[in-house]
Amino acid sequence: MKSYSPLIYMEGVTRVFSSGEVEARVLAGINLEIHPGEYVSIIGPSGCGKSTLLAIMGLMDSPTEGIYCFDGKPASSLKASDRARIRNHDIGFVFQNFNLIGDLNVFENVEQPLAYQKIKSARRKEMVSEALARVGMTDQARRLPSQLSGGQQQRVAVARALVGKPRILLADEPTGNLDSTNGYAIMEMLRELHQTGATICMVTHDPRFVHMADRLVHMFDGRLVESDENRLAAL
């Protein structure tokens, strides 16, 4: 259910990368709102700026021009420590390449974000166990990432993103390195998480999965070119 105040607010967001005398305009005048409880899918071809857009949403990058507010706070006014705190507490990230730590087991990988939140050990164990149960990975808690399939590793990555109960989950091509069976399983899991209240923004170039979101936003050459509201009702 959409609330009135947006969690993500972008107005005229532009991102230009410079190398010597060469400039590349990756984002050009992005206007976008994402409200608590929404599931938004941003689709577009490779190289159109989707990952850069997600990096700005996740406070890992900053716009060259324009306004970006997270939960009403202008990102330009945030100190580095504030940005790090919001990333750790309020934003969960799921990446195409899983980004698990190879010498930590599943439980330890999921627990890692909680280490920065000064949560007591007993409570951390409860939170990790709950997150693993939500993604169906309880039985794999002591395995290393190398002992898991790609689909299992992505489930662990989702559990790690969710363990701190973030305000929003940002997923960057979460099925990009998975076969179709595991891809559908991960997308079904994200849909179930959304149905329990999670706010999700996913970027993808794969049209097979976009119908699972509430809202579909098309992106091309650094611009948002179309937004489809309430698409599920029309399918």
Q: Please, which pLDDT band fits residue 8 given cuts at 50, 70 and 90? A: very high
Given a contact cutoff of 8 angstroms between Cβ atoms, the answer to whether 7 and 73 are in contact is: no
d(CA 57, CA 61): 8
Query: Could you tell me the two tokens for 176?
Result: 């990009």
Does pLDDT of 37 surpass 70?
Answer: yes
Task: Tell me which amino acid residue 204 is.
Answer: T
Please give the domain boundaries of the chain with CATH numbers for all domains: 8-234 (3.40.50.300)
Overall average pLDDT of the 91-105 stretch: 93
pLDDT confidence of residue 1: 46
12 in helix, strand or coil?
A: strand
Does pLDDT of 10 surpass 70?
Answer: yes
pLDDT confidence of residue 229: 61
pTM: 0.88
Closest CA to 90 of 49, 59, 131: 59
Q: What does the H/E/C string look like for 108-127?
A: HHHHHHHHHHCCCHHHHHHH
